[in-house]
């Protein structure tokens, strides 16, 4: 039998540990639609406090959190300014057009943009031709750009400029915990400039599901209605909340290990001339590398790696993503880097 693969496709592939399962098993639960799930109430209060916001609301997925945020902060026909290749544009099956009816303006590069770029893209309200810009969204860390951390000072400038012009601000912080650990900034400081933000329990924290929206009580009350409208209002969700509480207690500080492991892989891969990757661009637990001249295509690299027990993700014909997480050890990451290197180097030419 093949040993379990070293699975670097995503940090969503983690499975609850025995201790996390025990916490879920013993959680007191109730009907969350009556506000009577004590474990969920605890989680929502704890996350709101961690993020320095009045209230938080659990949702089954980060995609639903993003979709609900768009409904809360924008109206059909509005323009939403986002980073290039953000999750809402690439990974939500067109939900933003279907659910909120918004249009996106993608700006900047490598997952980041400046306040000047934001202002240049901003379309004023009340113009006879332009779609009004209702919202600016930042993704931190930025998934498709390789876990890049958005410079906090720039996020503050963008949000201040937005506020001055009556534009709402939203942070897709699915991996905000990674930013907090990598930068040493408390989550509340990272969240402070934004009207509303989301965080995930199901990525690096290793819980089986769930994201939370956090913000002022009034916005969270509106989000509650859209959660139900989208079919995301559930009942005894305390089992998920218990996993989330466990994850916050035990899996937050250890994200530093994932970052060190991603860095280890990146440094090893960067030794190949056939791989285009700057290890300094690996800020957190995601590495995205381009295959240079002489290397096979990404689907071939991914297929050959899978045959050797290493799973990665082909982003496009010449781009591969690998993500570290709590279910891969440092040794496994070192081994994965060797396998990928051998495949790329062994391609002949």
Ligand X SMILES: *Cc1c(COP(=O)(O)O)cnc(C)c1O
**Residue with Cβ nearer ligand X (208 or 238):** 208
Residues 83-122, mask of contacts with ligand X (x by CB under 6 A): ----x-----------------------------------
Contact assessment for residue 295 and residue 276, using Cβ atoms and an 8 Å cutoff: no
Which tokens go with 255? 């994200």
The least distance separating ligand X from the CB of residue 129, rounded to whole angstroms, comes to: 32
The least distance separating ligand X from the CB of residue 170, rounded to whole angstroms, comes to: 11
- Of the candidate spans 61-69, 146-154, 183-191, 298-306, the one that interacts with ligand X by CB under 6 A turns out to be 61-69
The least distance separating ligand X from the CB of residue 7, rounded to whole angstroms, comes to: 16
Rounded CA separation 170/65 (Å) = 11
Query: Among 246, 258, 248, which Cα is nearest to 326's?
Result: 258
Examine residue 143 and tell whether it contacts ligand X (CB under 6 A).
Answer: yes
Examine residue 172 and tell whether it contacts ligand X (CB under 6 A).
Answer: yes
The least distance separating ligand X from the CB of residue 63, rounded to whole angstroms, comes to: 3
Query: Hey, is 101 helix, strand or coil?
Result: coil
* Residues paired with 253 in a beta bridge: none
The least distance separating ligand X from the CB of residue 161, rounded to whole angstroms, comes to: 23
Residues 5-44, mask of contacts with ligand X (x by CB under 6 A): ----------------------------------------
Angle between the N-to-C axes of helices 217-229 and 62-73, in degrees from 0 to 180, rounded to the nearest 10: 120
Residues 293-322, mask of contacts with ligand X (x by CB under 6 A): ------------------------------
Examine residue 283 and tell whether it contacts ligand X (CB under 6 A).
Answer: no
The least distance separating ligand X from the CB of residue 20, rounded to whole angstroms, comes to: 17
**3-state DSSP of 24-84:** HHCCCCCCHHHCCCHHHHHHHHHHHHHCCCCEEEEECCHHHHHHHHHHHHCCCCCEEEEEC
**Residue with Cβ nearer ligand X (44 or 63):** 63
- Of the candidate spans 20-28, 55-63, 163-171, 215-223, the one that interacts with ligand X by CB under 6 A turns out to be 55-63
Rounded CA separation 81/52 (Å) = 25
Contact assessment for residue 248 and residue 320, using Cβ atoms and an 8 Å cutoff: no
Length of the chain: 349
- Of the candidate spans 59-67, 125-133, 243-251, 297-305, the one that interacts with ligand X by CB under 6 A turns out to be 59-67
Examine residue 262 and tell whether it contacts ligand X (CB under 6 A).
Answer: no
Q: Single out the residue of 44, 99, 145, 211 in contact with ligand X (rule: CB under 6 A).
A: 211
**Residue with Cβ nearer ligand X (72 or 295):** 72
Q: Single out the residue of 39, 63, 96, 169 in contact with ligand X (rule: CB under 6 A).
A: 63
Examine residue 258 and tell whether it contacts ligand X (CB under 6 A).
Answer: no
Q: Where are the beta strands (DSSP E) in the chain?
A: 6-7, 55-59, 79-83, 103-107, 133-139, 168-173, 196-200, 211-215, 275-276, 286-291, 310-311, 313-316, 319-323
Residue 19 burial (CB count, 10 A):
11
Contact assessment for residue 47 and residue 102, using Cβ atoms and an 8 Å cutoff: no
**Residue with Cβ nearer ligand X (143 or 261):** 143
Strand 313-316 and strand 310-311: the pairing is unpaired
Site for ligand X, rule CB under 6 A = 61-63, 66, 87, 139, 143, 172, 174, 200, 202, 211
């Amino acid at each position: 039998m093949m040993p379990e693969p070293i699975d670097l496709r995503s940090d969503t592939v983690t499975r609850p540990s025995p201790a996390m399962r025990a916490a879920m098993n013993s959680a007191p639960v109730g009907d969350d639609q009556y506000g009577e799930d004590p474990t969920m109430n605890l989680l929502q209060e704890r996350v709101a406090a961690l993020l320095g916001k009045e209230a938080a609301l659990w949702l089954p997925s980060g995609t639903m959190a993003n979709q609900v945020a768009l409904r809360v902060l924008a109206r059909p026909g509005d323009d939403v300014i986002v980073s290039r290749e953000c999750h809402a544009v690439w990974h939500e099956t067109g939900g933003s057009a279907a659910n909120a009816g918004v249009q996106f303006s993608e700006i900047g590069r490598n997952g980041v943009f400046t306040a000047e770029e934001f202002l240049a893209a901003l379309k004023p309200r009340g113009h006879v031709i332009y779609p009004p810009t209702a919202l600016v969204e930042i993704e931190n860390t930025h998934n498709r750009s390789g876990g890049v951390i958005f410079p906090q000072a720039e996020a503050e400038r963008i949000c201040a400029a937005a506020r001055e012009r009556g534009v709402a601000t939203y942070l897709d912080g699915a991996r905000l915990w990674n930013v907090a650990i990598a930068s040493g900034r408390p989550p509340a400081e990272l969240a402070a400039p934004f009207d509303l933000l989301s965080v995930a329990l199901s990525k690096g924290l290793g819980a089986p599901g769930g994201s939370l929206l956090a913000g002022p009580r009034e916005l969270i009350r509106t989000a509650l209605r859209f959660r139900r409208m989208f079919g995301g209002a559930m009942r005894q969700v305390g089992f998920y909340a218990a996993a989330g509480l466990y994850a916050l207690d035990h899996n937050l500080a250890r994200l530093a290990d994932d970052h060190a492991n991603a860095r280890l892989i990146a440094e090893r891969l960067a030794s190949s001339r056939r791989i285009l990757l700057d290890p300094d661009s690996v800020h957190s637990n995601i590495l995205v590398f381009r295959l240079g001249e002489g290397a096979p295509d990404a689907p071939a690299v991914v297929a050959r790696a899978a045959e050797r027990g290493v799973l990665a993700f082909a982003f496009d014909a010449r781009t591969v993503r690998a993500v570290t997480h709590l279910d891969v050890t440092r040794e496994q990451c070192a081994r994965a880097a060797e396998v990928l290197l051998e495949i790329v180097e062994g391609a002949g030419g």
